[in-house]
């Protein structure tokens, strides 16, 4: 298996890496840092289909989802290990394309692919384990406090809009369907933004992978708080408003796979962040001292909106 993956792994000119692909494990030295480790699995028919993804975009997005986890802690990504489960009819060219996309993302974000495994499987899957480092305290879901402002990087709902187009939804005149689709297929994890947040003193963050509302509820549960979100302040991706304007807010709240960062901090810290994030950010609400896990969405008049939190959940029946 190691021999099969070796042609696709870059030669990592990294002083910390002492053993790369070819031995039973990789090895690296550890300095005075906190190590981060995350993993994610992509399964054909669950996370993607040939109708909605190319093999290059499966590779890019598979690594990007792991990098987004590292970003949410404020860390710097370092090494990745890739395991593939392959059906008997797998084409070599498809896997070459997969690694092309994966290694493209690795090059953009400074990741070294240092090993992996290949197993036989009735359905294609890819599991990536990703490491990172951080030189200070990582941002945690549990660190939100009442009075903190809630903010999100970039925009929300673009990935859901791209998927809708791929599944046959007709975009409105004047929209850019290719750009919207790329938002879904090739997300940009907010690594530099996460580093800027932690350096500015932000203590609480997580990435928006399962859906903004669902993920904000996780922050509230972990920190023992509630939240109030101002619907007019939610930054909706232009692709969502142009593709399905009637459901754009729902896409932004529940669409998932935006891989933005939702974070909380006192107003003074938010003010210090102005102009420091490449993606920009929008303040959209406040952490409140209420029933843990409860998120209220209100309109511009302060009236509550009925919104169903239907973010991604693998275990939902």
> Which portions of the chain are predicted below pLDDT 70?
1-15, 22-23, 25-26, 173-174, 308-317
pLDDT tens digits for 36-58? Answer: 999 999 999 999 999 999 999 99
In a domain, 316, yes or no: no
CATH of the domain at 220: 3.90.650.10
In a domain, 273, yes or no: yes
Same domain, 150 and 284: yes
Looking up tokens 């890819």, which residue turns up? Answer: 126
In a domain, 18, yes or no: yes
Give residue 40's domain range.
2-134
Looking up tokens 């511009």, which residue turns up? Answer: 300
Same domain, 166 and 293: yes
pLDDT for position 31: 78
**Given 116, 134, 152, which residue is the final one in a domain?**
134
pLDDT for position 10: 52
Same domain, 116 and 229: no
* Length of the chain (residues): 317
pLDDT for position 27: 75
Looking up tokens 């969405």, which residue turns up? Answer: 297
**Given 78, 105, 134, which residue is the final one in a domain?**
134
Residues 6 or more apart whose Cβ sits within 8 Å of residue 148:
204, 264, 265, 266, 286, 287
CA–CA separation, 30 vs 133, rounded Å?
A: 10
Same domain, 65 and 83: yes
Q: DSSP readout, 243-260?
A: H-GGGHHHHHHH------
Instruction: Write out the two tokens for 11.
Output: 């030669």
In a domain, 149, yes or no: yes
Evaluate whether 156 touches 260 at the Cβ level (below 8 Å): yes
In a domain, 9, yes or no: yes
Same domain, 69 and 167: no
Indicate the DSSP class of residue 297.
Answer: E
In a domain, 314, yes or no: no
Strand order in the sheet with 295-298: 204-207, 261-265, 149-153, 281-288, 226-230, 295-298
SS (H, E, C) 114-134: EEEEEEECCCCEEEEEEEEEE
Same domain, 186 and 117: no
Backbone torsions φ then ψ of 76, nearest 5 degrees: -110, 120
CA–CA separation, 26 vs 2, rounded Å?
A: 11
282, burial (CB in 10 Å: exposed 0-12, middle 13-18, buried 19+): middle
Same domain, 109 and 165: no
SS3 state of residue 271: helix
> Could you tell me which of 41, 76, 60 has the C-alpha nearest to residue 190?
76
CA–CA separation, 113 vs 21, rounded Å?
A: 9
> Could you tell me which of 257, 60, 273 has the C-alpha nearest to residue 162?
257
Evaluate whether 136 touches 33 at the Cβ level (below 8 Å): no
Same domain, 88 and 210: no
Evaluate whether 34 touches 114 at the Cβ level (below 8 Å): no
CA–CA separation, 67 vs 283, rounded Å?
A: 24
Provide the whole-model pTM. Answer: 0.89
- Please report, in angstroms and rounded to a whole number, the separation of the first and last CA atoms in the chain: 35
Instruction: Write out the two tokens for 296.
Output: 């209220």
Packed helices 191-199 and 55-73: angle between N→C axes, nearest 10 degrees: 0
CATH of the domain at 70: 3.30.1330.10
pLDDT for position 316: 44
Same domain, 188 and 265: yes
> Could you tell me which of 155, 154, 163, 162 has the C-alpha nearest to residue 179?
162
Same domain, 91 and 148: no
In a domain, 307, yes or no: no
> Could you tell me which of 310, 151, 281, 143 has the C-alpha nearest to residue 219?
143
Sign of CA pseudo-dihedral 13, 68, 58, 87 = positive
- The total number of structural domains in the chain stands at 2
pLDDT tens digits for 76-123? Answer: 999 999 999 999 999 999 999 999 999 999 999 999 999 999 999 999
Same domain, 105 and 212: no
In a domain, 218, yes or no: yes
pLDDT for position 58: 98
Same domain, 227 and 292: yes
pLDDT for position 312: 43
């Amino acid at each position: 298996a190691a021999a099969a993956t070796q042609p696709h792994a870059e030669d990592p000119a990294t002083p910390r890496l002492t053993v790369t692909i070819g031995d039973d494990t990789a090895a690296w030295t550890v300095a005075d840092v906190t190590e981060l480790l995350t993993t994610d699995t992509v399964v054909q028919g669950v996370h993607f289909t040939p109708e909605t993804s190319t093999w290059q975009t499966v590779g890019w997005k598979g690594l990007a989802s792991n990098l987004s986890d590292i970003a949410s802690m404020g860390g710097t990504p370092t090494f990745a290990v890739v395991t593939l489960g392959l059906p008997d009819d797998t084409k070599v060219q498809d896997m070459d394309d997969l690694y092309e996309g994966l290694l493209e993302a690795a090059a953009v974000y400074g990741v070294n692919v240092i090993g992996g495994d290949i197993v036989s499987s009735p359905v294609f899957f890819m599991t990536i384990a990703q490491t990172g480092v951080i030189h200070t305290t990582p941002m945690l879901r549990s660190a939100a406090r009442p009075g903190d402002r809630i903010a999100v990087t970039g925009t929300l709902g673009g990935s859901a809009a791209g998927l809708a187009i791929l599944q046959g939804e007709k975009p409105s005149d004047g929209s850019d369907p290719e750009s919207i689709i790329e938002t879904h297929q090739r997300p940009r994890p907010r690594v530099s933004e996460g580093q800027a947040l932690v350096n500015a003193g932000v203590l609480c963050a997580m990435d928006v992978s399962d859906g903004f509302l669902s993920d904000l509820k996780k922050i509230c549960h972990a920190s023992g708080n509630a939240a109030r979100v101002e619907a007019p302040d939610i930054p909706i991706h232009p692709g969502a408003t142009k593709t399905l304007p009637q459901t754009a807010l729902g896409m932004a709240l529940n669409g998932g796979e935006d891989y933005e960062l939702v974070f909380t901090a006192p107003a003074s810290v938010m003010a210090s962040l102005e102009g420091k994030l490449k993606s920009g950010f929008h303040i959209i609400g406040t952490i409140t001292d209420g029933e843990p896990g409860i998120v209220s969405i209100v309109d511009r008049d302060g009236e509550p909106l009925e919104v169903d939190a239907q973010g991604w959940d693998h275990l939902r029946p």
